[in-house]
């Protein structure tokens, strides 16, 4: 594999990295664990003049804040995230979603920020060796879309594959974004634009600094499922994350957050399904009705050989199971 020629600067702090990115402009790109960016460099999907490395910055361990939220440094390696005592105890869905990523080796290198900011994927885009003689597509600055020939140049149906983003959205997490103009805070879902061409809403010199997850409310439960073909070292076919809260009667739902990833250009919140659950009793009949409607509303993109029909059925089945699991956890208080 041949890497292009590029310069390398190792930042001592995230502020320094952001300042370098601002100064170097479009020619610079930030490198965290490199498990997503290095393959993109090899596929010539990006060709930065300078890589700004973050590996010299030690992440802060996850910690409880004064309001009971948990603050997690964006540079936290996924292996540490998956096994951190505080995260396992208070946010087991987040720990499980980190464990779902790649393999041990990938998780030892990969960071939380890099996972959220990873490139979108489609059969053409990230498979350069199979398409080395094909014309560049819209996303590569070319004039066509190989898997979807009817797309116009504003439309790219590459899919965002993060396993962790849906869990953070279902948990109501926020992100601290650091840039030249200082700090801003956004909801996790707001990181994504919904365009495969430009999937992230970050400015050129902005970095994700930390993830803030609010404490799970009382009588709440979670469900998480990543569908894959072979069950390991594999991107998701669909990733489902659910948080449900029961009212004081212990039977009806008073809060629901549902997010699905790996089926569209961004992880999506299923707000119509959430509305259909809030105020209702969480019995099997209700969950069996809500899940297929939610899958249809999601309108999954066919990707990596999975047809839309297959993804619809997959989401309908596993969403029902994730909802049932979340409801059971909320009832019993078991994590």
Ligand X SMILES: Cc1cc2nc3c(=O)[nH]c(=O)nc-3n(C[C@H](O)[C@H](O)[C@H](O)COP(=O)(O)OP(=O)(O)OC[C@H]3O[C@@H](n4cnc5c(N)ncnc54)[C@H](O)[C@@H]3O)c2cc1C
Interface residues toward ligand SF4, by CB under 6 A = 122, 124-125, 137-139, 145-148, 151, 156-158, 196
- What SS3 state is found at 312? helix
DSSP secondary structure code for residue 189 in this structure? G
Q: Which does 222 bind (CB under 5 to 8 A by kind): ligand X, ligand SF4, none?
A: none
Q: How far apart are CA 163 and CA 174, in angstroms?
A: 16
For position 241 contacting ligand X by CB under 6 A, the verdict is: no
Sign of the CA dihedral running 161, 162, 165, 170: positive
> Cβ closer to ligand SF4: 88 or 153?
153
User: What is the closest distance, in whole angstroms, from the C-beta atom of residue 159 to ligand SF4 in the complex?
Assistant: 8
Q: Which does 208 bind (CB under 5 to 8 A by kind): ligand X, ligand SF4, none?
A: ligand X
Using CB under 6 A as the binding rule, the residues of this chain from 35 to 64 that contact ligand X are 35-37, 39
Assess contact for 252 and 276: CB atoms under 8 A. Answer: no
Q: Which does 37 bind (CB under 5 to 8 A by kind): ligand X, ligand SF4, none?
A: ligand X
User: What is the closest distance, in whole angstroms, from the C-beta atom of residue 161 to ligand SF4 in the complex?
Assistant: 13
- What SS3 state is found at 227? strand
Rg of the chain over all Cα atoms, to the nearest angstrom: 20
Nearest to 174 by CA among 225, 212, 131: 212
Residue nearest to ligand X (CB): 114
Question: What are 221's strand-pairing partners?
Answer: 244
For position 11 contacting ligand X by CB under 6 A, the verdict is: no
> Cβ closer to ligand SF4: 148 or 224?
148
Q: Kindly tell me which residue out of 57, 84, 99, 110 binds ligand X, with binding defined by CB under 6 A.
A: 110
Q: Kindly tell me which residue out of 84, 117, 175, 191 binds ligand X, with binding defined by CB under 6 A.
A: 117
Question: What is the DSSP pairing of strand 28-31 with strand 50-53?
Answer: parallel
CA torsion angle for 276, 282, 285, 288 (degrees, to 10)? 60
Interacting stretch for ligand X, rule CB under 6 A, among 61-69, 110-118, 151-159, 264-272? Answer: 110-118
For position 101 contacting ligand X by CB under 6 A, the verdict is: yes
Assess contact for 241 and 188: CB atoms under 8 A. Answer: no
User: What is the closest distance, in whole angstroms, from the C-beta atom of residue 5 to ligand X in the complex?
Assistant: 18
For position 102 contacting ligand X by CB under 6 A, the verdict is: yes
Nearest to 329 by CA among 227, 224, 249, 240: 224
Q: Which residues contact residue 133 at a Cβ distance below 8 angstroms, ignoring those fewer than 6 apart? A: none
For position 208 contacting ligand X by CB under 6 A, the verdict is: yes
Assess contact for 278 and 286: CB atoms under 8 A. Answer: no
Q: Which does 137 bind (CB under 5 to 8 A by kind): ligand X, ligand SF4, none?
A: ligand SF4
Question: What are 245's strand-pairing partners?
Answer: 220, 255
Q: How far apart are CA 111 and CA 59, in angstroms?
A: 10
Q: Which does 30 bind (CB under 5 to 8 A by kind): ligand SF4, ligand X, none?
A: ligand X
Using CB under 6 A as the binding rule, the residues of this chain from 59 to 88 that contact ligand X are 74, 78
Q: Which does 179 bind (CB under 5 to 8 A by kind): ligand X, ligand SF4, none?
A: none
> Cβ closer to ligand X: 115 or 158?
115
For position 166 contacting ligand X by CB under 6 A, the verdict is: no
Q: How far apart are CA 269 and CA 23, in angstroms?
A: 36
* DSSP H/E element including 21: helix 14-24
User: What is the closest distance, in whole angstroms, from the C-beta atom of residue 200 to ligand SF4 in the complex?
Assistant: 15
Q: Kindly tell me which residue out of 161, 188, 240, 315 binds ligand X, with binding defined by CB under 6 A.
A: 161
């Amino acid at each position: 594999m041949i890497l292009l020629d590029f310069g390398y600067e190792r930042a001592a702090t995230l502020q320094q990295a952001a300042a370098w990115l601002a100064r170097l402009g479009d020619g610079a790109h930030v490198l965290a664990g490199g498990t997503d960016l290095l393959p993109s460099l090899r596929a010539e999907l990006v060709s930065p003049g300078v890589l700004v490395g973050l590996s010299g910055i030690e992440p802060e361990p996850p910690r409880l804040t004064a309001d009971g939220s948990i603050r997690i440094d964006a540079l936290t390696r996924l292996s540490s995230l998956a096994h951190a005592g505080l995260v396992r105890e208070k946010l087991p869905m987040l720990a499980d979603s980190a464990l779902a990523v790649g393999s041990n080796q990938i998780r030892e290198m990969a960071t939380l920020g890099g996972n959220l900011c990873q490139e979108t994927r489609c059969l053409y885009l990230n498979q350069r060796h199979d398409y080395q003689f094909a014309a560049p597509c819209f996303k590569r600055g070319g004039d066509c879309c190989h898997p979807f020939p009817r797309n116009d140049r504003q439309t790219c149906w590459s899919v965002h594959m993060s396993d962790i983003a849906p869990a953070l959205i279902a948990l109501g997490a926020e992100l601290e974004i650091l840039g030249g103009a200082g700090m801003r805070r956004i909801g996790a879902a707001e990181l994504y634009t919904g365009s495969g061409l430009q999937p992230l809403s970050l400015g050129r010199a902005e970095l994700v600094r930390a993830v803030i997850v609010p404490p799970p409310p009382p009588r709440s439960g979670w469900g998480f499922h990543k569908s894959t073909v072979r069950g390991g070292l594999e991107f998701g076919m669909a990733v489902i994350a659910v948080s449900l809260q029961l009212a004081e009667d212990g039977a009806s739902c008073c809060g629901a957050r549902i997010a699905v990833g790996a089926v569209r250009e961004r992880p999506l919140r299923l707000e119509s399904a959430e509305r259909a659950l809030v105020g209702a009793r969480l019995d099997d009949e209700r969950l069996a009705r809500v899940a297929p409607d939610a899958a249809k509303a999601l309108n999954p993109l066919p990707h990596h050989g999975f047809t839309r029909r297959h993804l619809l059925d997959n989401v309908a089945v596993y969403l029902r199971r994730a909802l049932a699991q979340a409801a059971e956890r909320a009832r019993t208080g078991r994590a």
